[in-house]
Amino acid sequence: MPALKPTDYFAEVLWLGRVADSVEDLRAEPMDSMVLSYEGVEGDCHAGLTRPSCSRVKAQHPRGTEIANVRQLSILSAEELEEISDAMGIEEFDPAWVGATMILKGIPDFTHVPPSSRLQADSGATLVVDMVNRPCVLPGRVIEKEEPGKGKAFKTASEGKRGVTAWVEREGAVKVGDILRLHIPDQRAWAEAG
């Protein structure tokens, strides 16, 4: 019996990007297409089969511990990005500012799709959702350069709308305009979750 259910939710890939060095500048370089390997996106600072642990998992691992890389991509919803932009009073919000790998349109409440959900392209390329990508201050620094006086508002404006992190389960190509289908785990929510 399959453990994942295909849904009737599909998302169009509106934007693709790659971040060369998030420490130097979180800004992503726009791309028309990308090849997703088991290491993620070639040339992206988040690529690799493993990574040093960070604040996201500090309750489990001391910072810098080598762990499996389930944070290869940062995927956001165009609809939620528009809500963030509106809350910040920014007319034209560039996805590059938040270090996005992919901007999708068409899945409601995208940031909260269940962990372990899959996003699958016609090429077969399949991404596994790890977890919510929590708001942080790094995009605010880039936004401040482009929209002076507005960068500090990003963390609050993006609460619950920052998208998800993901990793590559099946290799393949993805391009702007592709359609990804959402597959979700076939299980009820954990009864003990508050």
In the prediction, which pLDDT does 194 show?
A: 67
SS (H, E, C) the chain: CCCEEEEEEEEEEEEEEECCECCCECCCEEECEEEEECCEECCCCCCCCEEECCHHHCCCCCCCCEEECCCCEEEEEHHHHHHHHHHHCCCCCCHHHHCCCEEEECCCCHHHCCCCCEEEECCCCEEEEEEECCCCCHHHHHHHHHCCCCHHHHHHHCCCCCCEEEEEEECEEEECCCEEEEEEECCCCCCCCC
In the prediction, which pLDDT does 25 show?
A: 83
In the prediction, which pLDDT does 23 show?
A: 77
Instruction: Please list the rounded mean pLDDT of every run of 10 residues in the chain (194 residues).
Output: 92 97 87 98 96 91 96 97 96 94 98 97 97 86 94 94 97 98 93 81
In the prediction, which pLDDT does 58 show?
A: 92
pTM: 0.94
In the prediction, which pLDDT does 64 show?
A: 94
The 10s digit of each residue's pLDDT in 131-160 is 999 877 789 999 999 999 999 999 999 999
